[in-house]
């Protein structure tokens, strides 16, 4: 096991900068995720860690050893890719034991280790099945087992679940996390699916256009996004963003909607912060759909008036789309039995604890 | 507008049966979703309706006309393919105009129609470009425009949003729904994403291994799943299933699991009837509970009966946290609010929402009964009955 | 990945230069010889001139004009008729092969019928055709004394068929896909040693009075290059997603309409590169043309061959000059379709 440290890592392909001055530290024995939309440089970063790409500048350290010049075969890195490369002419047991066999480990040890891994992955019943006959789901498990058995220092996974069906993906998320906790393996997981990153990782690095946007625990990424990109990318349905400006009246601070009249009263800390902020006439406030509540009556003055446009019933909850002001739409998560008709007036309560204010020009959160 | 009816349709490819005795009726102006995992036969179903494949058995009717032998061009149905199938060497304008030209429409009229559709989908500025230069969402719109321009009798869509990124998918979902409401046309939408099906459809047909498992409104598919398959396909994370032994002692009926037990109240209860009629054939049933219908308590609650369990792992998603809990010999998934925090290996108490418990046949997976009120099944602690 | 020491890089370039020299020297020699006067290109005199000392167009004059006609064979007094013949026959053969090959390739690419044992029957049928039809035909002609040494021809043919069949079956076993094996049995046509089929063809052609005609050659070229066209075009059609034709059909096109309006325009690049490839094959063919032409339609390679004979000696200079001229059409053709060749290569990028 080892920690991974990237220092000012940069990768150019011709004139295209794939990764820009990336500095990151993935701690030993933890589960880290690199998250971003396609083309954000996450796979390039992983390839550089694995040694498949040479960085243009910067260094890669495993623990304290600089790895830039170590060839990929000697880095002791395990891989699992989206296309499970398993040997279909071998049994499951032979597949899992393959890594040990080519390292010349004796039969008895291989059998013991394969047994352990199979138990961890719940593959014990099918050890003697020909791997070509497995379902897609089980093939991915075998691929996992085959990489795990050699106990690499770093375990890299590149969207390993994207070919699996939804139900099994949800199951494997829990499984992989449990396995990682059990064996304490350093894992780096590359994905574009925020649910996977949020649910499994101890730390998430969010990337866009080759630039690291934020690095932190899932809780930090979700509840304290540093900019509009992170706030928008994490969470489904995504955060509501309403363009607004700051107004101070009688010693009170308000956020006033640009395309409408919705006003949010600010607490003192926020008011002082925004008073000092130079771009306070061009702001965006953001709130997640689950932090908003709908009321039928304006029982408190700070509720915002909105009109229901349509509903998305999802079974476990209903996403209500409302119109706030002239052209802003706002999504609110309501109870699954919520069935108000389009055109109904509703009152939205905002939990001030979960209100985010961003500078519209720079995209950064105001704090 | 068209009414599409499939009657006992079976389709095989070599030895593989893609669809088996499918009976469906899709009504005028309906948003109809076909939901199923990859390989369930969804795409084959669309291809049969549009005429790219012929059924081995059974009949397909469009507006009560049997169309088994009708060439796709004469069926007047538009289809949007999963990979969109835009003609890469043609400009967007020519892509959209293609169906009209094939019908020999005069050039002036084509121009007007394309312009009208382009305006509707906000792609007027893209007409001169080639599809390769467009973003994913723009290509999506062009594909929709190509289908809309000819005002067909029905629209078929094959996972049109599958290749888009999450945010764009959300946006297009809303747009599609709005478009369909505007057009009031029949739309058959194939997807493997249950969220899409639940949020957009008027009715959903759940397809698994070529067999229609259930065809009903989203509410009913979610709350009254016909069988174990449907309950697994709809809902994320899927419904938890716990194998219980059926035990009948001293005029009492119990469902016993390694981690909990239920008592069926009252011999006049329909569930009692169902189970007793099947006894002794039925030794086991599956008790299904959705992850959001389970509550976790760090301490034993006093007002309701809860069962002792242990946290295996927790997956925070931000808006909610999914906790994997070891209950008896099974692991169940529970959705908890993000404010509640559970450590790994922490002992917890599990309580079910007794109004939403499904009982299914362990062999066939078919639903036997769903409780509608808390008092129909009563919780008992395991070990309190024989 | 890692930086190598300087001497390795130097060595690498030296090796590259040597290989490049080896490959380009013959071309250089041909070009330089084309411009040398007779005194320089003939070996009579013992000295080797590395460059033309006294550049001249005399060699071009020799091959292109009539006045030294008596040197050449078969009343051909200049190379002009052979150039015409080469152009007509190569282009004709290419068009013929493209026409039938492209349609066959589309069929193989799109309509995946489970062919089962069909390829086997095709192979068998080919064998039967050769044994039952061709051989008696040949035997008859031999009997009538029209060809001599018929046993020689017979054993050659049988050997060819046997080898073809064995190799073909073994490779087809390796290729197990249902459609591929059908396509493969088409490629198998190419596994005859050319000599084995050309002689029977020559006998047949002479019976049908097709020897020394342009259409006789076009037919043979078309059939011989047909398997290449099928294989190349099939791989290009396979690249084009099937949904495109289906979308066209659903949009109201007929099956032919989908092919001509949607698929073929997309395969333009592939069609161009296939055409170039087949054209070069036809253009450079010597064997078939040698056996199937006599007076009127010898092609450039055949004519080049006649520039060495006991009567006229080895005419190296005129040969080099004609060789240089013969290079021009493929190069011009290549430049003309270069745009499509490049598009053919980048085609995959616009699909997704």
Check CB contact under 8 Å for C249 and B77. no
pLDDT confidence band for C192 (50 / 70 / 90): low
Report the range out of A225-239, C76-90, C98-112 with the highest average pLDDT: A225-239
- Please say whether the beta carbons of A358 and A228 come within 8 A: yes
- How far apart CA C11 and CA C14 sit, in angstroms, is 5
What CA–CA distances, in Å, run from C61 to A284, B2, C297, C345?
83, 78, 21, 41
Provide the shortest C-alpha distance from residue A361 to chain C (in Å). Answer: 34
Tell me how many helices (H) and strands (E) chain C has: 19, 2
Residues whose CB falls within 8 Å of the CB of residue A150, separated by 6 or more in sequence, listed in order: A78, A99, A100, A103
What CA–CA distances, in Å, run from C127 to A112, C153, C225?
58, 16, 20
- How far apart CA A70 and CA A68 sit, in angstroms, is 6
Provide the shortest C-alpha distance from residue B206 to chain C (in Å). Answer: 25
- How far apart CA B123 and CA B86 sit, in angstroms, is 15
- Name which of C241, C252, C349 is nearest B103 (Cβ-Cβ): C252
Phi, psi of A215 (to 5 degrees): -130, 125
Contact list, C179 vs chain B (CB under 8 Å): none
Check CB contact under 8 Å for C241 and B150. no
B73 near C CB under 8 A: yes
pLDDT at residue C187 tops 80: no
C window 2-31, beta carbon within 8 A of A: 2
Check CB contact under 8 Å for B324 and A223. no
SS3 B349: strand
What's residue B385's pLDDT? Answer: 47
C43 near A CB under 8 A: no
Burial environment of residue A250 by CB neighbours within 10 A (0 to 12, 13 to 18, 19 or more) = exposed
Interface test with B, best of C247, C263, C340 (most B CBs within 10 A): C247
Give me the mean pLDDT over the A151-169 stretch. Answer: 86
Report residue A214 as tokens.
Answer: 């934020």
| Residue of B132, B130, B175, B135 lying closest to B157 (CA atoms) | B175
Interface test with A, best of B165, B166, B202, B321 (most A CBs within 10 A): B166
A54 near C CB under 8 A: yes
A71 near C CB under 8 A: yes
- How far apart CA C315 and CA A179 sit, in angstroms, is 81
- Where in chain A does DSSP place strands (E)? 4-13, 16-26, 31-35, 57-62, 65-66, 77-80, 154-158, 187-191, 203-208, 211-216, 240-249, 252-257, 263-265, 283-287, 292-295, 304-313, 318-324, 328-334, 345-350, 356-359
Give me the mean pLDDT over the B100-121 stretch. Answer: 92
* pLDDT single digits (tens) B13-42: 878 899 999 999 999 999 999 999 888 899
Residues whose CB falls within 8 Å of the CB of residue B292, separated by 6 or more in sequence, listed in order: A316, A317, B335
- Name which of C257, C350, C351 is nearest B102 (Cβ-Cβ): C257
pLDDT at residue A346 tops 50: yes
B279 near C CB under 8 A: no
Contact list, B146 vs chain C (CB under 8 Å): 251
- How far apart CA A102 and CA A365 sit, in angstroms, is 53
* pLDDT single digits (tens) C234-260: 888 888 888 888 899 988 888 888 999
Provide the shortest C-alpha distance from residue A240 to chain B (in Å). Answer: 12
Give me the mean pLDDT over the C268-287 stretch. Answer: 89
Interface test with C, best of B14, B90, B102 (most C CBs within 10 A): B102
- Please say whether the beta carbons of B187 and B160 come within 8 A: no
- How far apart CA B31 and CA B46 sit, in angstroms, is 14
Contact list, C253 vs chain B (CB under 8 Å): 73, 98, 102
Report residue C261 as tokens.
Answer: 């309006």
Provide the shortest C-alpha distance from residue A37 to chain C (in Å). Answer: 17
pLDDT at residue C126 tops 70: no
Interface test with B, best of A137, A163, A167 (most B CBs within 10 A): A167
| Residue of A137, A139, A144, A135 lying closest to A176 (CA atoms) | A144
Q: How far apart are the first and last CA of chain A?
A: 38
- How far apart CA A319 and CA A324 sit, in angstroms, is 15
pLDDT at residue C152 tops 80: no
- Please say whether the beta carbons of A20 and A211 come within 8 A: yes
Contact list, C114 vs chain B (CB under 8 Å): 14
Q: Which residue has the tokens 């084509």?
A: B110
What's residue B128's pLDDT? Answer: 93
What's residue A323's pLDDT? Answer: 92
C window 87-146, beta carbon within 8 A of A: none
- E strand or H helix at B79: strand B77-80
Give me the mean pLDDT over the C205-211 stretch. Answer: 81
What's residue C69's pLDDT? Answer: 47
Provide the shortest C-alpha distance from residue A313 to chain B (in Å). Answer: 5
- Please say whether the beta carbons of A34 and A207 come within 8 A: yes
Give me the mean pLDDT over the B297-312 stretch. Answer: 89
What CA–CA distances, in Å, run from B312 to A122, B39, B309, B322, B334?
16, 32, 10, 11, 11
| Residue of A163, A177, A149, A150 lying closest to A81 (CA atoms) | A163
pLDDT confidence band for C171 (50 / 70 / 90): low
Contact list, A71 vs chain C (CB under 8 Å): 1-2
Report the complex ipTM: 0.83
- Please say whether the beta carbons of B73 and B123 come within 8 A: no
* Cis check: omega of the bond before B30, within 30 degrees of 0: no
Please, what is the average pLDDT of chain B?
Answer: 88
**Strand order across the beta sheet in which B358-361 lies:** B367-370, B358-361, B284-289, B240-249, B252-256, B261-264, B377-380
pTM: 0.80
Interface test with B, best of C240, C241, C252 (most B CBs within 10 A): C252
Check CB contact under 8 Å for B319 and A235. yes
C352 near A CB under 8 A: no
Each as own residue / partner, the long-range contacts of residues C192-197 (CB below 8 Å, 24 or more positions apart, any chain) are C192/C160, C192/C161, C192/C164, C193/C160, C193/C163, C193/C164, C194/C224, C194/C287, C194/C288, C195/C156, C195/C160, C195/C287, C196/C156, C196/C157, C196/C159, C196/C160, C196/C161, C196/C164, C197/C160
Q: What is the chain B residue with the closest CA to C251?
A: B99
Check CB contact under 8 Å for B192 and A166. yes
């Amino acid at each position: 096991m080892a920690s991974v440290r990237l220092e000012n890592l940069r990768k150019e392909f011709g004139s295209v900068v794939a990764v820009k001055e990336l500095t990151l530290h993935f701690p030993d024995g933890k589960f880290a995720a690199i998250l971003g939309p396609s083309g954000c440089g996450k796979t390039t970063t992983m390839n550089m860690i694995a040694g498949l790409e040479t960085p243009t500048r910067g260094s890669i350290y495993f623990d304290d050893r600089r790895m830039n010049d170590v060839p990929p075969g000697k880095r002791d890195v395990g891989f699992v890719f989206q296309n499970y490369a398993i040997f279909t002419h071998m049994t499951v047991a032979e597949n899992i034991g393959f890594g040990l066999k080519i390292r010349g480990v004796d039969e008895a040890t291989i059998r013991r280790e394969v047994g352990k891994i199979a138990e961890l992955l719940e593959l014990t019943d099918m050890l003697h099945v020909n791997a070509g006959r497995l379902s897609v789901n089980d093939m991915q498990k075998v691929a996992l087992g085959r990489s795990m058995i050699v106990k690499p220092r770093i375990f890299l996974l590149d969207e390993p679940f994207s070919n699996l069906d939804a139900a099994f993906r949800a199951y494997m998320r829990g499984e992989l996390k449990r396995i990682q906790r059990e064996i304490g393996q350093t894992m780096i997981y590359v994905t574009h699916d925020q649910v996977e990153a949020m649910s499994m990782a101890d730390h998430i690095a969010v990337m866009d256009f080759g630039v690291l946007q934020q690095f932190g625990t899932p809780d930090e990424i979700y509840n304290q996004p540093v900019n509009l990109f992170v706030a928008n990318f994490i969470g489904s349905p995504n955060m509501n963003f309403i363009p607004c400006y700051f107004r101070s009246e009688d010693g009170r601070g308000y956020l006033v909607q640009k395309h409408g009249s919705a006003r949010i009263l600010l607490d003192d800390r926020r008011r002082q912060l925004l008073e000092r902020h130079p771009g306070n006439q061009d702001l965006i406030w953001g709130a997640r759909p689950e932090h908003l509540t709908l009321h039928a009556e304006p029982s408190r003055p700070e509720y915002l008036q909105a009109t229901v446009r349509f509903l998305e019933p999802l079974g476990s909850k209903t996403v209500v789309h409302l119109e706030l002001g002239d052209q802003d739409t706002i999504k609110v998560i309501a109870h699954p039995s919520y069935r108000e008709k389009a055109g109904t007036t509703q009152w939205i309560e905002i939990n001030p604890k979960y209100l985010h204010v961003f500078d519209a020009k720079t995209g950064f959160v105001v704090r | 507008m068209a009414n599409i009816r499939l009657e006992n349709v079976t389709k095989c490819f070599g030895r593989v049966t893609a669809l088996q005795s499918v009976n469906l009726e899709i009504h005028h102006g309906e948003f109809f979703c076909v939901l199923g995992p990859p390989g369930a036969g969804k795409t084959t179903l669309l291809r049969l309706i549009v005429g790219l494949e012929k059924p081995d058995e059974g009949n397909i009717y469009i507006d009560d006309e049997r169309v088994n032998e009708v060439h796709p061009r004469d069926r007047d149905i538009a289809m949007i393919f999963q990979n969109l199938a835009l003609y890469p060497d043609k400009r967007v304008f020519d892509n959209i105009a293609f169906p009209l030209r094939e019908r020999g429409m005069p050039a002036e009229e084509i121009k007007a129609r394309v312009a009208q559709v382009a305006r509707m989908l906000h792609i007027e500025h893209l007409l001169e470009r080639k599809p390769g230069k467009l973003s994913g969402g723009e290509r999506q719109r062009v594909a929709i425009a190509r289908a809309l321009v000819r005002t067909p009798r029905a629209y078929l869509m094959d996972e049109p949003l599958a290749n888009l990124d999450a945010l764009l998918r959300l946006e297009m979902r809303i747009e599609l729904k709005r478009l369909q409401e505007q057009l009031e046309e029949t739309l058959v939408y194939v997807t493997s994403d249950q969220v899409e099906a639940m949020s957009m459809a008027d009715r959903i047909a759940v397809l698994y291994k070529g067999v229609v498992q259930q065809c009903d409104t989203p509410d009913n598919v979610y709350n009254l799943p016909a069988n174990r398959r449907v309950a697994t396909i709809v809902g994320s994370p899927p419904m938890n299933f716990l194998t219980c032994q059926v035990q009948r002692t001293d005029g009492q009926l119990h469902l016993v699991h390694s981690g909990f037990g239920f008592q069926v109240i009252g011999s006049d209860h329909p569930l009692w009837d169902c189970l007793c009629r099947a006894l002794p054939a039925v030794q086991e049933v599956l008790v299904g509970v959705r992850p959001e219908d389970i509550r976790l308590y760090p301490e034993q609650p006093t007002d309701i009966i809860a069962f002792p369990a242990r946290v295996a792992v927790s997956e925070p998603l931000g808006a909610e946290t999914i906790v994997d809990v070891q209950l008896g010999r099974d692991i169940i998934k529970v959705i908890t609010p993000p404010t509640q925090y559970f450590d790994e290996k922490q002992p917890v108490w599990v309580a079910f929402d007794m109004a939403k418990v499904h009982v299914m046949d362990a062999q066939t997976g078919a639903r036997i009964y769903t409780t509608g009120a808390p008092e129909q099944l009563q919780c008992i602690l395991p070990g309190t009955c024989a | 990945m890692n930086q190598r020491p300087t001497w390795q890089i130097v060595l690498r370039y030296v090796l590259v230069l040597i290989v490049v020299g080896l490959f380009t020297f013959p071309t250089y020699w041909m070009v330089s010889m084309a411009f040398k006067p007779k005194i320089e290109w003939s070996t009579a005199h013992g000295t080797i001139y590395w460059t033309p000392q006294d550049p001249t167009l005399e060699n071009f004059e020799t091959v292109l004009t009539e006045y030294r006609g008596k040197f050449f064979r078969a009343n051909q007094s200049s190379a002009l008729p052979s150039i015409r013949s080469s152009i007509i026959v190569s282009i004709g053969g290419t068009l013929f092969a493209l026409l039938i090959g492209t349609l066959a390739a589309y069929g193989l690419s799109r309509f995946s019928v489970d062919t089962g044992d069909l390829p086997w029957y095709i192979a068998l049928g080919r064998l039967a055709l050769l044994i039952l039809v061709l051989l008696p035909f040949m035997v008859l002609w031999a009997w009538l004394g029209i060809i001599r040494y018929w046993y020689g021809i017979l054993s050659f043919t049988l050997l060819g068929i046997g080898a073809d069949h064995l190799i073909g079956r073994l490779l087809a076993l390796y290729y197990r896909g249902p459609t591929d094996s059908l396509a493969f049995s088409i490629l198998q046509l190419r596994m005859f040693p050319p000599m084995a089929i050309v002689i029977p063809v020559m006998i047949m052609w002479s019976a049908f009075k097709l020897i020394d005609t342009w259409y006789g050659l076009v037919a043979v070229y078309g059939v011989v290059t047909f398997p290449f066209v099928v294989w190349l075009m099939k791989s290009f059609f396979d690249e084009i997603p099937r949904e495109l034709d289906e979308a066209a059909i659903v949009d109201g096109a007929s099956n032919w309409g989908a092919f001509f309006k949607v698929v073929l325009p997309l395969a333009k690049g592939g069609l161009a590169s296939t055409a170039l490839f087949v054209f070069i094959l036809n253009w450079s063919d010597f064997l078939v043309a040698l056996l199937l032409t006599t007076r009127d339609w010898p092609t450039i390679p055949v004519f080049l061959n006649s520039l060495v004979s006991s009567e006229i000696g080895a005419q190296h200079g005129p040969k080099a000059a004609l060789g240089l001229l013969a290079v021009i059409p493929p190069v011009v053709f290549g430049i003309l379709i270069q745009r499509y060749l490049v598009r053919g290569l980048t085609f995959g990028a616009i699909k997704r």
